[in-house]
Structure 1
């Protein structure tokens, strides 16, 4: 069920999506388990709530099958495909941006949720959602794009970055030992941001790509249910991957922030610990990360690509699961699907990302992926 190259060449326009939703009496949404897709689903669901249109919201991680018989007269898949879908968006584009435009046709969607989805997709805030948020008073400031007021907590668990300060509060506190982290003034925030940037640049395990990737963590937009938009995105993505049901509630605005933060902390700690302990291998164009225990492979793949890999494509394998990430011309989803089928597993993805489940030895899957590239 590879989604690579299928829908977005003929993706529905925002106005068409709005019209179909307006005509529907019952809608089924099926979102991929990531922050962008779940944010987009939340934008749609809030719009339907406002006009009392019933709907069903489901998060189905790739490659889990999403086809299901329901009484819905409109099925919308977001960030993934299903054979029963009437509309598909966000497979090769940013779902939250499209959802915001569609929801704006008949309402006033939350631009902060849309921006969180856009950032979770790896994009820089821009366009109509940013303009709407700035009209509400959204501003940028020096500091870190973390969801908490405590920079030690934020740095330790953030999955926007990985460095020697990641994974535990002790490591983060050591980096900021000479800073009065109780201060909230601009000079203190600038100093913290500088220390983080220098730590990433000086990381012996890091790559040149990381010195650019860390910019996503710096000078954040401030606002939303968490401290920053970047922090909101980080929490949304982490919760979507670990606890999809809670992610739906978070996108709907009905989950308390402390519950979401607890899930985010657990996810971040697991990802950093697994990446730190992983065995790695470098091949021509491919960087392989092997984890000995179950681990959040999608998050690890992104972190490894941005901060650890000298190669353009990263493959993470852990306990019968795999995630790959790379440039669009690598056709990652198709490669993952072929590799999974070669070992009697299941795989799917987009041009830049893929995910698989398999029962074979991880070495067999790695070899199959290399052959499929």
Structure 2
């Protein structure tokens, strides 16, 4: 087995190799799903029984991990968490490094060869370009094995470019979410959208050029749109992979983590379910683009706010931060949830925790029940992103001012 790349004791503080049973409790995003899938596949190869569950918030993961840890304290069972947790249990990842990299380290410690395509998809979901930094050896391994090859075009999961471009949450242009508009745009460049098996390099280049021009050419596009769309062009295709490109794979992982985490986890573990996972991705993409196109917006010093009536707030915030926000942070607010995404490179975990505490205080101040119960604000943190779920009685202006007061 190759020993290139980062060499660390990935299992410091816990011993996966000697566990009789491993319970994985994971965060609900593409990076964490990929990491959990890598570990689960390694456990299956070693014949170690395991269970994988997804916790949407820190509180959910804490509750699940504490419950199973208490049950197995006397035995050789192990509970391993991917994502922030308020419990004294082993955690695979850290706040400043993708979970996928930690999982790759652990899998290699277990003397199992990690799937480089799944690892690359997890890293892209975490915001890391394929081959960047510690992932260089992973990309080289995939290329040496013929698992990936760079080509012209756009990073989408499906062979049909209309389907892929319409539902991608890594793109944002006037046609996003509208298959008829995407088809018309591609047909205007003589791309044979009805014969997708015949697409050649020139067709893919035409698709990439059209997508890039439309993503940066709209009045709503910001200076960061060019950088964002550039990361989706000239993708790494996966000839024998479950999806057409690494970037498309990442998009599917992110979408399924938000909408169908059980299905997404099963797919990451290698249990098939490709079509249900794609269906979840399509629904997620439609909802995100519909919500963003219908949203109200507001600009503050350092913060761009998107008011969402109904939609996946984290994904809306991510798209807005990439293509629509003139400020370094984007906040999507709607129906008792907020998604916060920053373009800064440092962790925002402490920021999100502080916002959660302040929102809890604001909920308590605004409560008229007077029953003495503590307000409930749940949150989650990932790399440069946060999610909060709170009492819907708080008005949006209070939420926005609370976030502004912490940023």
Contact 1:314–1:325 at 8 Å: present in 2 too? Answer: yes
Moved more, 85-94 or 140-149: 85-94
Q: What is the 5 A alignment of 1:8-157?
A: 13-16=8-11, 20-67=15-62, 68=64, 69-70=67-68, 71-72=71-72, 73-105=77-109, 106-126=111-131, 127-137=136-146, 138-157=148-167
TM-score calculated relative to the size of structure 1: 0.92
Instruction: Report deviation, 1:313.
Output: 1.0
Secondary structure of 2:304's counterpart equals strand
1:176-221 CA deviation, whole Å, 9 max, x = no partner?
1222233311011001101111111211111010111001211111
Q: How far apart, in 1, do the equivalents of 2:338 and 2:24 lie?
A: 25
Partner of residue 202, structure 1 = 217
From 251, 254, 274, the equivalent of 1:234 is 251
Secondary structure of 1:247's counterpart equals helix
After superposition, the Cα gap between the structure-2 partners of 1:155 and 1:90, relative to the gap in structure 1 and judged at 3 Å, is: farther
1:282 and 2:299 correspond: yes
After superposition, the Cα gap between the structure-2 partners of 1:17 and 1:44, relative to the gap in structure 1 and judged at 3 Å, is: farther
Bigger radius of gyration, 1 or 2? 2
Secondary structure of 2:243's counterpart equals coil
Instruction: Report deviation, 1:318.
Output: 1.2
Q: How far apart, in 1, do the equivalents of 2:312 and 2:382 lie?
A: 18
Report runs of 4+ in structure 1 exceeding 3 Å deviation.
12-15, 329-332
Partner of residue 402, structure 2 = 368
Contact 2:57–2:378 at 8 Å: present in 1 too? Answer: no
Contact 1:63–1:356 at 8 Å: present in 2 too? Answer: no
TM-score calculated relative to the size of structure 2: 0.84
After superposition, the Cα gap between the structure-2 partners of 1:335 and 1:65, relative to the gap in structure 1 and judged at 3 Å, is: same
Q: How far apart, in 1, do the equivalents of 2:255 and 2:106 lie?
A: 25
Partner of residue 304, structure 1 = 320
Structure 1: segments with no counterpart, 5+ residues: 1-11
1:115-148 CA deviation, whole Å, 9 max, x = no partner?
1100111111122321221121021000111011
Instruction: Report deviation, 1:50.
Output: 0.9
Q: How far apart, in 2, do the equivalents of 1:296 and 1:90 lie?
A: 25
Count of residues in Structure 1 that have an aligned counterpart in Structure 2:
361
Instruction: Report deviation, 1:243.
Output: 0.8
Q: How far apart, in 2, do the equivalents of 1:213 and 1:14 lie?
A: 34
Secondary structure of 1:22's counterpart equals coil
1:142-191 CA deviation, whole Å, 9 max, x = no partner?
01110111111111000111111201101211221222233311011001
Contact 1:36–1:118 at 8 Å: present in 2 too? Answer: yes
Q: How far apart, in 2, do the equivalents of 1:311 and 1:349 lie?
A: 20
Partner of residue 371, structure 2 = none
Q: How far apart, in 2, do the equivalents of 1:19 and 1:135 lie?
A: 33
After superposition, the Cα gap between the structure-2 partners of 1:204 and 1:139, relative to the gap in structure 1 and judged at 3 Å, is: same
1:341 and 2:360 correspond: yes
From 313, 317, 322, the equivalent of 2:338 is 322
Moved more, 32-41 or 324-333: 324-333
Contact 2:317–2:339 at 8 Å: present in 1 too? Answer: yes
Secondary structure of 1:53's counterpart equals coil
